[in-house]
């Protein structure tokens, strides 16, 4: 979604606002804008398109302010034009907003009837107009409170008030907002990354909070308007670092970061000395009746993989569902179940809502998240961090394998607790898991072979991905990666489903990517591959040396290392991600900022 920054500084804020917006651009990149207090009033600069366009504007018309706000937008209401770019102004109010104001239409009608004139198509302007109205006769914090009482929706705000040049206000309901503590300077930001270059001392606002900051302090109020204390934490440097190193794109770096990331993840959930899965959090897997996993997109596919691993190994029923559907279909839930929210950001609105739905039914809750300061992490009974470091590429890669690693360790711990495996088997599986990072790095060595296959794939209009068993969720994830960054239509199918419909799509121009490393199901998948070959469909087989022996002459093959099927989804993820990455690069697509997408989807 959108990114927000606010700075009450002692020196010019322009450069710092832009630096911060660069860090926030992964949240949205339709348009950007900044505003600050100049000697003679508020100065504001906005531009449609990428941040670079705003920088061009600022080069000609710089800001002079030492106190200001900035925004990078992922459009919800109104096209991504300069006119709809934040900050928005109304009377004494200038503000930036992340999220959605659900009752904006009715508020707008009322405000219009009162004679207020609107300049934009956005829902945000309604908040600016409303706050300006509330300011007549009320001090700023009180006016903000009564504005917040009238708006419905999920949002984070940073606000400037004319005549109050040493102060900013912020509010959050849903999407996150942090307060950064500097030396004689204070900050508001969508996340720790946004304020990372200026401070690592951060307080996370609670849902419903609003805040007034000046040069030296933050006054926080809860949703009822009562003063509140929010602990100031020193966040680790890893939460504020954002470097591409020698890589061209964050996504490329994050793909190659995976072996190291997964090593960290696995080490957090297994005892490398004793060889036991040491799953923290006090959940009694022996008596647990069911697990309900909720997530969106890639996190959902990681959850699907978890289902395959946990049910087979631990004989523990696992339901997995896309969070956006889950709560609206009024699912039948058991209080004795555990809900696991899968989410890199820990902020995805649908996943959060599904989590809260389960909590309200009395279920115990856990979150498998990357952002440990996120809303989900703070609202659950147990947090299982994925430890893979900040993920910047909009297309999720290293978070996926880290999420799968956590669930694989959970499968082992649950299987042992339920007596489905003995200690020797547990130790064997832990050894297998500890092998995964090395094998993932080996699998990524197929990159040169992958590059050679790219030109043909990049010409395709449609691509099918096939897999069986745990390779099916990986096929779904492969298809998602390809479509989101290269804009080629792709579908993942369970290989056995092919003949029930999708086989009609096979022709010479529709490549099929078959993911089939050696396992008990490989031969069945290869039989499905032959059905495609028989109909003239081009095939790329992703397998190990043993599987490659089954490739027909002339068939394209990507060869990865042989591995235990338990870790095959981890080992074969890097080549699948690299394939999508190189196709997108070949097509000249903006890999780290694919069109229409945003990293953290904090609206429904």
Complex with ligand F6R: residue 26 or 566, whichever CB lies closer: 26
**Binding of residue 348 to ligand F6R (CB under 6 A):** yes
Q: In this chain, which of 143, 299, 368, 591 binds ligand F6R, going by CB under 6 A?
A: 299
Can you tell me the distance from the alpha carbon of 594 to that of 55, in angstroms, rounded to the nearest whole number? 21
Cα(387)–Cα(458) distance, integer angstroms: 34
- Give me Rg for the CA atoms of the chain: 25
The correct pick among 426, 484, 544, 592 for binding ligand F6R (CB under 6 A) is 484
Position 343 contacts ligand F6R (CB under 6 A): yes
Annotated active-site residue in 2, 262, 358, 563: 2
Q: Which residue stretch of 111-119, 147-155, 252-260, 290-298 sits at the interface with ligand F6R (rule: CB under 6 A)? A: 290-298
Q: CB of 104: closest distance to ligand F6R in angstroms?
A: 24
Which of 31, 66, 84, 344 is in the footprint of ligand F6R by CB under 6 A? 344
The nearest distance, CB 348 to ligand F6R, in angstroms, is 3
Which CB, 94 or 343, lies closer to ligand F6R?
Answer: 343
Q: Are 269 and 414 in contact (CB under 8 A)?
A: no
Nearer to ligand F6R, 186 or 598 (CB): 598
CB of 303 to ligand F6R, least distance (A): 10
Q: At closest approach, how far in Å is the CB of 168 from ligand F6R?
A: 27
For residue 292, give the nearest of 368, 347, 396 by alpha carbon: 368
Query: Does residue number 577 form part of the binding site for ligand F6R (CB under 6 A)?
Result: no
Q: Does 304 participate in binding ligand F6R (rule CB under 6 A)? A: no
C-alpha to C-alpha distance for 46 and 57, rounded to whole angstroms: 8
Whether 358 is catalytic: no
Using CB under 6 A as the binding rule, whether residue 600 contacts ligand F6R is answered as yes
The 508-547 site mask, x for binding ligand F6R (CB under 6 A), equals: ----------------------------------------
Return the number of the residue (324 or 543) whose C-beta is nearest ligand F6R.
324
In the complex with ligand F6R, which residue's Cβ is closer, 14 or 298?
298
Contact 446, 424 (CB under 8 A): no
How many CB atoms lie under 10 A from the CB of residue 434? Answer: 17
Only segment of 295-303, 406-414, 422-430, 551-559 that touches ligand F6R (CB under 6 A): 295-303
Rounded to an integer, what distance in angstroms lies between the CA atom of residue 113 and that of residue 109?
6
Q: What is the rounded CA–CA span in Å between residue 94 and residue 86?
A: 9
Rounded CA gap, 303 and 551, in Å?
Answer: 31
Question: Which of 365/600 has CB closer to ligand F6R?
Answer: 600
Nearest CB to ligand F6R, comparing residues 238 and 423: 238
Question: Between 251 and 409, whose beta carbon lies closer to ligand F6R?
Answer: 251
Active site residue 549: no
Contact range with ligand F6R by CB under 6 A, out of 28-36, 85-93, 297-305, 537-545: 297-305
Q: Which of 7, 171, 211, 395 binds ligand F6R (CB under 6 A)?
A: 395
Instruction: Retrieve residue 155's tokens.
Output: 């949002």
Query: Residue 577's Cα: distance from chain center in Å?
Result: 16
DSSP string, 321-384: EEHHHHGGG-----TTEEEEEEESSS--HHHHHHHHHHHHTT-EEEEEES-TTSHHHHHSSEEE
Which residue's C-beta sits nearest to ligand F6R? 297
- Alpha-carbon span 338 to 360, nearest angstrom: 12
Q: Which is nearer to ligand F6R, 17 or 299 (CB)?
A: 299
Contacts of 224 (CB under 8 A, 6+ apart): none
d(CA 288, CA 1): 36
Least Cβ distance, residue 603 to ligand F6R (angstroms): 11
Stretch touching ligand F6R by CB under 6 A, among 218-226, 248-256, 257-265, 293-301: 293-301
User: Is residue 453 a contact point for ligand F6R (CB under 6 A)?
Assistant: no
Burial grade of 109 (CB within 10 A; 0-12, 13-18, 19 or more): exposed
Sheet with 93-101: list strands edge to edge: 88-90, 93-101, 153-161, 168-173, 210-213, 218-221, 227-228
Least distance to ligand F6R, CB of residue 593, Å: 12
CA distance 195 to 181: 9
> In what side-by-side order are the strands of the sheet with 290-295?
318-322, 290-295, 337-343, 364-369, 382-385
Q: Does 261 bind ligand F6R (CB under 6 A)?
A: no
Residues that bind ligand F6R (CB under 6 A): 296-299, 343-345, 348, 351, 395-396, 480, 484, 600-601
Q: Which residues are catalytic?
A: 2, 599
């Amino acid at each position: 979604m959108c990114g927000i920054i606010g700075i009450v500084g002692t020196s010019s804020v322009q450069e710092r606002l832009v630096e911060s917006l660069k860090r926030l651009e992964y949240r949205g990149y339709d348009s950007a804008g900044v505003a600050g207090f100049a000697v003679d009033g508020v100065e504001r600069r906005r531009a449609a398109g990428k941040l670079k366009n705003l920088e061009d504007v600022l080069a000609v018309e710089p800001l002079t302010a030492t106190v200001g706000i900035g925004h990078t937008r992922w459009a919800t209401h109104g096209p991504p034009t300069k006119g709809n770019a934040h900050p928005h102004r109304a009377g004494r109010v200038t503000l930036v907003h992340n999220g959605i104001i659900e009752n904006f239409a009715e508020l707008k009608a009322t405000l219009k009837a009162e004679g207020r004139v609107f300049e934009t198509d956005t829902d945000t302007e309604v908040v600016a107009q409303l706050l300006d109205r509330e300011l007549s006769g009320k001090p700023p914090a009180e006016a903000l409170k009564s504005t917040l009482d009238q708006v419905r929706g999920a949002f984070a705000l940073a606000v400037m008030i004319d005549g109050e040049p040493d102060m900013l206000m912020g509010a959050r309901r849903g999407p996150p907002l942090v307060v950064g503590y500097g030396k004689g300077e204070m900050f508001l930001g969508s996340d720790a990354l946004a304020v990372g270059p200026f401070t690592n001392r951060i307080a996370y606002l609670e849902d419903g909070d609003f805040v007034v900051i000046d040069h030296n302090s933050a006054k926080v109020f809860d949703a009822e308007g009562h003063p509140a204390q929010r602990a100031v934490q020193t966040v680790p440097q890893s939460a504020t670092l954002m470097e591409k190193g020698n890589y061209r794109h964050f996504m490329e770096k994050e793909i190659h970061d995976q072996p190291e990331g997964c090593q960290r993840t696995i080490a957090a959930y297994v005892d490398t000395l004793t060889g036991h899965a040491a799953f923290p959090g006090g959940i009694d897997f022996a008596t647990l009746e069911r697990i309900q996993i909720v997530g969106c997109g890639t996190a959902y596919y990681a959850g699907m993989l978890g289902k395959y691993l946990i049910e087979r190994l631990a004989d523990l029923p696992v339901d997995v569902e896309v969070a956006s559907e889950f709560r609206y279909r009024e699912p039948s839930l058991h209080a004795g179940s555990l809900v696991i929210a899968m989410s890199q950001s820990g902020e995805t609105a649908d996943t959060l809502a599904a989590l809260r739905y389960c909590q309200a039914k009395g279920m115990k809750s856990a979150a498998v998240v990357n952002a440990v300061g996120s809303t989900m992490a703070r609202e659950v009974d147990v947090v299982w961090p994925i430890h893979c470091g900040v993920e910047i590429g909009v297309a999720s890669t290293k978070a996926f394998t880290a999420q799968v690693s956590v669930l694989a360790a959970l499968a082992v711990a649950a299987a042992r607790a339920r007596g489905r495996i003995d200690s020797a088997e547990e130790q064997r599986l832990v050894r297998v898991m500890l092998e995964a990072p090395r094998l993932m790095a080996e699998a990524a060595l197929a990159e040169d072979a992958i590059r050679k296959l790219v030109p043909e794939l990049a010409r395709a209009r449609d691509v099918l991905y096939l897999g069986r068993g745990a390779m099916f969720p990986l096929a779904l994830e492969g298809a998602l990666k390809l479509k989101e960054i290269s804009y080629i239509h792709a579908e993942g199918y369970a290989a056995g489903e092919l003949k029930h419909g999708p086989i009609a799509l096979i022709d010479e121009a529709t490549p099929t990517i078959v993911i089939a490393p050696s396992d008990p199901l490989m031969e069945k998948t290869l039989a499905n591959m032959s059905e495609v070959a028989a109909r003239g469909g081009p095939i790329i087989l992703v397998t190990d040396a043993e599987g490659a022996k089954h490739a027909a002459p002339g068939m394209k093959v990507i060869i990865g290392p042989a591995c235990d099927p338990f870790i095959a989804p981890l080992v074969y993820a890097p080549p699948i991600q690299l394939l999508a990455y190189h196709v997108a690069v070949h097509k000249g697509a903006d890999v780290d900022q694919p069109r229409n997408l945003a990293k953290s989807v904090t609206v429904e």
